[in-house]
């Protein structure tokens, strides 16, 4: 189980769009500059996000990306899955053949952890992250 930079960057980029899309379509160059993510890496990520119908794109002058749905309807789990991240904690990926074709002694522990991670990420939307970030900033700057 490992969340790579691809998954982290995908979530960050989606949050950037969610926060800024009211100003118009968001270009990858804008995200790249604001979030310090390689433009070529963003292009790879956004090809997958678009294929998963999480973002919509407009070409040409004034073009860019916007979310396909409200930020409150897009879970972190969807974003991570769209870029093919695997957060499975079980070595056997749930096939119960961890140890020479049989289930290992700690299989249930890792199964429970995998399920908890998935449930947690399914219940966290882009909107919830934005709201939490805003409330923390209000406390800090109050």
What's the whole-number average pLDDT of the chain? 86
Query: How confident is the model at residue 3, as a pLDDT?
Result: 73
H or E element in which residue 29 lies? helix 28-35
Burial of 124 per CB tally in 10 Å (0-12, 13-18, 19+): middle
Structure tokens at 56: 């919509």
Cβ burial, residue 141 (10 Å; 0-12/13-18/19+): exposed
Which secondary-structure segment (H or E) carries 33? helix 28-35
pTM of the model: 0.84
Average pLDDT over residues 98-109: 73
- For the chain, list the domains and their CATH numbers: 5-140 (1.10.10.10)
Burial 22-54 (b: 16+ CB within 10 A, else e): eeebbbbebbbeeeebeeebbeebbebbeeeeb
Structure tokens at 64: 């860019």
Tell me whether residue 111 is exposed, middle or buried, using C-beta atoms within 10 angstroms of its C-beta: 0 to 12, 13 to 18, 19 or more.
Answer: middle
More confident of the two residues 34 and 85: 34
Q: Which residue has the higher pLDDT, 59 or 125?
A: 125
Would you state the pLDDT for residue 131? 92
- The pLDDT of residue 125: 97
Q: What is the pLDDT of residue 41?
A: 95
Q: How far apart are CA 64 and CA 26, in angstroms?
A: 5
Residue 51: its pLDDT value, please? 96
Quote the pLDDT of residue 105: 77
Given a cut of 60, whether residue 119 has pLDDT beyond it is yes
Question: Which whole number is the average pLDDT over 128-136?
Answer: 85
Is it the case that residue 18 has pLDDT exceeding 70? yes
In tens, the pLDDT along 41-89 reads 999 999 999 999 999 998 888 889 999 999 999 999 999 999 987 776 6
pLDDT the model gives residue 63: 87
CB-CB contact of 108 with 96 (8 Å): no
């Amino acid at each position: 189980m490992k969340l790579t930079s691809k998954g982290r960057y995908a979530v960050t980029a989606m949050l950037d769009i969610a926060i800024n899309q009211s100003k118009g379509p968001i270009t990858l160059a804008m995200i790249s500059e604001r979030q310090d993510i390689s433009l070529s890496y963003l292009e790879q990520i956004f090809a997958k996000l678009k294929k998963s119908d999480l973002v919509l794109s407009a070409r040409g002058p004034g073009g860019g990306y916007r979310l396909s749905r409200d930020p409150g309807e897009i879970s972190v789990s969807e974003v991570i899955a769209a870029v093919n991240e695997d957060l499975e904690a079980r070595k056997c990926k749930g096939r119960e053949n961890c140890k020479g074709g049989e289930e290992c002694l700690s299989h249930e522990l890792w199964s429970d952890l995998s399920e908890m991670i998935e449930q947690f990420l399914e219940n966290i939307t882009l909107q919830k992250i934005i709201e939490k970030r805003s409330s923390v900033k209000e406390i800090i700057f109050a």
